[in-house]
Amino acid sequence: MSNEKIPYKIYLEEKEMPTNWYNVRADMKKKPAPLLNPGTGKPMTAAELSHVFCDELVAQELNDTDRYIPIPEEIRNFYKMYRPSPLVRAYCLEEKLGTPAKIYYKFEGNNTSGSHKLNSAIAQAYYAKKQGLKGVTTETGAGQWGTALSMACSYFDLDCKVFMVKVSYEQKPFRREVMRTYGASVTPSPSTETEVGKKILAEFPGTTGSLGCAISEAVEAAVTREGYRYVLGSVLAQVLLHQSVIGMETKAALDKYGIKPDVIIGCAGGGSNLGGLISPFMGEKLRGEANYRFIAVEPASCPSLTRGQYLYDFCDTGKVCPLAKMYTLGSGFIPAPNHAGGLRYHGMSSILSELYDQGLMEAVSAKQTDVFKAAEYFARVEGILPAPESSHAIKVAIDEALKCKETGEEKTIVFGLTGTGYFDMVAYEQFHNGTMTDYIPTDEELAKSIATAPKLN
Amino acid sequence: MSNEKIPYKIYLEEKEMPTNWYNVRADMKKKPAPLLNPGTGKPMTAAELSHVFCDELVAQELNDTDRYIPIPEEIRNFYKMYRPSPLVRAYCLEEKLGTPAKIYYKFEGNNTSGSHKLNSAIAQAYYAKKQGLKGVTTETGAGQWGTALSMACSYFDLDCKVFMVKVSYEQKPFRREVMRTYGASVTPSPSTETEVGKKILAEFPGTTGSLGCAISEAVEAAVTREGYRYVLGSVLAQVLLHQSVIGMETKAALDKYGIKPDVIIGCAGGGSNLGGLISPFMGEKLRGEANYRFIAVEPASCPSLTRGQYLYDFCDTGKVCPLAKMYTLGSGFIPAPNHAGGLRYHGMSSILSELYDQGLMEAVSAKQTDVFKAAEYFARVEGILPAPESSHAIKVAIDEALKCKETGEEKTIVFGLTGTGYFDMVAYEQFHNGTMTDYIPTDEELAKSIATAPKLN
């Protein structure tokens, strides 16, 4: 099909929107390792998980056999408010790079949460409401997830309690204010509202917090309140399931124009965006129907796939959560203070970890000054100011396109543009002023933090 | 046509996008009054205007006869990067209000400038480039226009010099940083870079600046530099012409589903959004082909249409610009310091002023606390965090929908959602904290500022 026929932006019609999520675990011969009870060392049962998570979400978490899970109508109606997201042909970027490659990006930033996180937030809020709960608790780092959950809870009239990593709470007052606009209560973490928060504060009085610590607080706040459950914005299988809507739409849009991608690229922190984007394509690869290259891009300052170890670890600093088998830097890992934006979690989705371990996916890391260089370049050429997280994917997409320029190959590159950087201007300012620095942890530092993983491995 | 067939969002296909701007002046029997030379009191000639503006933009400014002006292909290509904007059916808002009214909004906020301003910025940058200029100068208040122009100049590789009202420069460092991302230079106004800036600083040492003052500086900076021209984001006829793309798309989207609006609502500062949105509909009304109600919504703190006078006035504080006949509060008017966001210009587009004077359009004003109440309500129900400016239209659209609830009328209401409020969280914070106040100028205050208009009227 000729280029002329492919518009700048491919929008699916409402009737073409996915009605099912795709569960990639169903097509994996070797399944991801189960969550373990840290006390017994045995797989977590549905009953155990239901103290923390909503019942239907527990069922989704444990379901590794059903390929398709229907998206409830209430969620599909909410999706219609901000989805389908456009699949954009980056004509301007291609021209500027002078590459024969064809570049597409799935842009998830055109909603008030500013990222793809809303796809899972609305699903989790829906199931909480359906179960008759009063509210949910969660943590947020850079703020996208907290914002998304606030929006979702406001829609279903649920109480929303967000523990926000203290350094972000202080540096991103506007994010906090958006959450308040949607009626959420936002507490800087670690806080004195929880026992685990108090304990961490006593041990590390000056700490600016971490995602792992905020998770511990949010879980405690959920299990100690009547009518509350905890929700998480990444890492879990259920989240990747909800995020598969990204990949389903991407595939439908490409199929509509008969386009077959060669390489699919996504940034990876906990794995929700990457997992969602690649899922249906990975399904084809697992079933032997097609072949694709998948590239996970992570920050050099938080390199769980490229420099972590594949073992059972705690999901949180306070060690109140189940154990997950994943590529991890150890739950004691905290990214250097100069790390901007998200992608700061110490571990990686068990699903992606297993796929990576099986050699079905590649991973690379990128330095943040290189990432911001790509971000600014992209903003000027394609007109969208990208989030720091998304810019990891941009960086590697540009690298791949430049390789095509050298070889003359007309590859089709698809990447996930997960969100916008409107709340990340402090980092952009550092980049403009030349005060942004890179930090790559030493082998010794990583060995030390990985040693915080439990000894059962 | 039944409601079921109308999707949440109507997107035009690329091939359905407008190829012409619509020039409403062509259909006006009584034309808007011409710009006058403040020295001679005679209409400005093309030669005189071309010292300040690009040649093709001068031609557009003076053209009140051609109904359609073709949109150059280069501009249409840029439009394809972020247009068409969706026409959204506000199903959730209708349901929440319990109104039989059908509410639609044209959402212009899904681009990095965060507003409709990009529609004219790219056109003005294009003509500047075509003329072989080095760069352009402009002013910005709330920052949307400056951001839009920075993006447009970056695309065409033009130098961009922005004078930003000092109070905004200090309160909105992130807006400034977005402009820097696109390579613009941003100067707080009043500055010592211009003679007029120095003069204003000497007279009012503690001033936090005004749009009128920043305009004076930007014009001076343009006319005293080789290869530069001045560009303006609102008020001018050329800007309303470019912004007619909003109305053209809206009309095409409504026509596609056989929908005829009863009332069309837009916020009004200088008039660029409202003028653009209503233009093709106003054309039908002027030609006697259809009838619509049009409502301009302005802030109670800056009420040019509802409380100003229709006379020739200076467009800027420094009185370096031509005189325009418009509804004005006097070029000496400065909104109270508690006024949040844009819509702070002392006058109103000559085109809209003339249409209003002929009784073809209504105008109302809204208090800012009421506007933010509507903004938060809308954010929670429709999921989009609106700009303070846009929220003026939301407020009145809700009022109209509630009137329909009382009368049982199934009216179709269309309003312009010009942008997002991501850079306005300081104002939202004041609203949440209950520290936001209203200010309505007294008759004496307005009489005093209107007296700053020249005596030739």
Torsion, Cα A271 A277 A278 A280, to 10 degrees, reads: 130
Looking at per-residue confidence, does B350 or A457 come out higher? B350
Confidence of residue B134 (pLDDT cuts 50, 70, 90): very high
Looking at beta carbons, which residues of chain A come within 8 Å of B81?
A: 8, 92, 382-383
Could A177 and B384 be called an inter-chain contact, meaning their C-beta atoms sit closer than 8 Å? no
Confidence of residue B4 (pLDDT cuts 50, 70, 90): low
Share above pLDDT 70 across residues of chain A, in percent, rounded to a whole number: 99
Between CA A363 and CA A267 the distance in angstroms is: 10
Residue A178: closest C-alpha in chain B:
B425
The answer, yes or no, to whether residue B2 has pLDDT greater than 70, is no
Confidence of residue B1 (pLDDT cuts 50, 70, 90): very low
Between CA A388 and CA A138 the distance in angstroms is: 22
Between CA A123 and CA A232 the distance in angstroms is: 11
The answer, yes or no, to whether residue B67 has pLDDT greater than 60, is yes
Residue with tokens 């004509």: A91
Could A80 and B9 be called an inter-chain contact, meaning their C-beta atoms sit closer than 8 Å? yes
Closest in A182, A380, A425 to B380, CB measured? A182
Both structure tokens of B321: 């610009």
Which tens digit of pLDDT belongs to each residue from A9-53? 999 999 999 999 999 999 999 999 999 999 999 999 999 999 999
Between CA A88 and CA A257 the distance in angstroms is: 13
Strand B412-417, strand B102-107: pairing: parallel
Given this model, what pLDDT does residue B316 score?
A: 85
Mean pLDDT of A403-428: 96
- The mean pLDDT of chain B is 95
Closest in A7, A181, A429 to B379, CB measured? A181
Looking at beta carbons, which residues of chain B come within 8 Å of A114?
A: 422
Given this model, what pLDDT does residue A5 score?
A: 83
Looking at beta carbons, which residues of chain B come within 8 Å of A14?
A: 7-9
Mean pLDDT of B300-322: 93
Given this model, what pLDDT does residue A188 score?
A: 96
Closest CA to A104 of A250, A246, A2, A243: A250
Between CA B428 and CA B435 the distance in angstroms is: 10
B405 Cα to chain A: minimum distance (Å): 22
Mean pLDDT of A264-272: 97
Confidence of residue A335 (pLDDT cuts 50, 70, 90): confident
Residue A15: closest C-alpha in chain B:
B7
Closest in B92, B420, B432 to A180, CB measured? B432
Mean pLDDT of A102-117: 96
Q: Does A181 touch chain B (CB under 8 A)?
A: yes
Mutate to test the interface with A, among B82, B91, B96 (most CBs of A within 10 A): B82
Could A429 and B11 be called an inter-chain contact, meaning their C-beta atoms sit closer than 8 Å? no
A28-63 burial: b if 16+ Cβ within 10 Å, else e: beeebbbbbebeeeeebeeebbbebbbebbbbbbbe
Q: Helix, strand, coil % (nearest 5) of chain A?
A: 45, 20, 40
**DSSP letter string, A199-240:** HHHHHSTT----HHHHHHHHHHHHHTSTTEEE--SSSSHHHH
Q: Does B374 touch chain A (CB under 8 A)?
A: no
Looking at beta carbons, which residues of chain B come within 8 Å of A9?
A: 14, 80
Entry field: residues in chain B: 457
Measured in degrees and rounded to the nearest 5, phi and psi for residue B87 equal -100, 115
Closest in A11, A178, A425 to B177, CB measured? A425
B397 Cα to chain A: minimum distance (Å): 19
Q: Does B436 touch chain A (CB under 8 A)?
A: no
Sort B267 into a burial class: Cβ within 10 Å, 0-12 / 13-18 / 19+.
buried
Looking at beta carbons, which residues of chain B come within 8 Å of A382?
A: 81
Could A11 and B8 be called an inter-chain contact, meaning their C-beta atoms sit closer than 8 Å? no
- ipTM value > 0.85: yes
Are A31 and B37 within 8 A, CB to CB? no
Q: Does A75 touch chain B (CB under 8 A)?
A: no
Looking at beta carbons, which residues of chain B come within 8 Å of A383?
A: 78, 81-82, 111-112, 151, 155
Given this model, what pLDDT does residue B146 score?
A: 97
Could B384 and A183 be called an inter-chain contact, meaning their C-beta atoms sit closer than 8 Å? no
Instruction: Compute the count of residue pairs across chains A and B with CB atoms less than 8 Å apart.
Output: 107
Confidence of residue A2 (pLDDT cuts 50, 70, 90): very low
Which tens digit of pLDDT belongs to each residue from A140-160? 988 999 999 999 999 999 999
**DSSP letter string, B376-409:** HHHHHHHS--B-HHHHHHHHHHHHHHHHHHHHT-
Distances (CA, A) of A333 to A167, A312, A329, B70, B153: 16, 15, 6, 59, 43
Are B162 and B146 within 8 A, CB to CB? yes
Say if pTM beats, i.e. exceeds, 0.80. Answer: yes
The three-class DSSP label of residue B129 is helix
The answer, yes or no, to whether residue A1 has pLDDT greater than 50, is no
Confidence of residue B320 (pLDDT cuts 50, 70, 90): confident
Entry field: residues in chain A: 457
Both structure tokens of A8: 């700048």
Mean pLDDT of A437-452: 95
B-contacting residues in A 77-106 (Cβ below 8 Å): 78, 80-82, 92
Q: Helix, strand, coil % (nearest 5) of chain B?
A: 45, 20, 40
Looking at beta carbons, which residues of chain B come within 8 Å of A429?
A: 173, 177, 180
Looking at beta carbons, which residues of chain B come within 8 Å of A428?
A: 177-178, 180-181
Residue with tokens 């430049």: A402
Which tens digit of pLDDT belongs to each residue from B207-220? 888 888 899 999 99
Given this model, what pLDDT does residue A147 score?
A: 97
Is-cis flag, bond preceding A32, omega within 30?
no
B336 Cα to chain A: minimum distance (Å): 24
Closest in B180, B379, B383 to A82, CB measured? B383
Residue A110: closest C-alpha in chain B:
B110
Confidence of residue B171 (pLDDT cuts 50, 70, 90): confident
The three-class DSSP label of residue B296 is strand
Q: Does B420 touch chain A (CB under 8 A)?
A: yes
The answer, yes or no, to whether residue B456 has pLDDT greater than 80, is no
Q: What domains are there in chain A, each with its CATH number?
A: 7-19+83-114+239-450 (3.40.50.1100), 20-69+116-230 (3.40.50.1100)
The answer, yes or no, to whether residue A4 has pLDDT greater than 80, is no
The answer, yes or no, to whether residue A425 has pLDDT greater than 80, is yes
Detail the DSSP E strand segments found in A300-347.
309-314, 323-328
Distances (CA, A) of B254 to A204, B9, B89, B265, B450: 60, 11, 11, 15, 41
Distances (CA, A) of A257 to A5, A9, A145, A416, B14: 8, 12, 33, 19, 15
**DSSP letter string, B424-444:** -HHHHHHHHHT--------HH
Closest CA to B345 of B390, B375, B308: B308
Closest CA to A276 of A293, A294, A261, A260: A294
Is-cis flag, bond preceding A261, omega within 30?
no
Alpha helices in A83-143 (DSSP H): 91-97, 118-130
Between CA B129 and CA B125 the distance in angstroms is: 6
Could B383 and A81 be called an inter-chain contact, meaning their C-beta atoms sit closer than 8 Å? yes
Residue A96: closest C-alpha in chain B:
B155
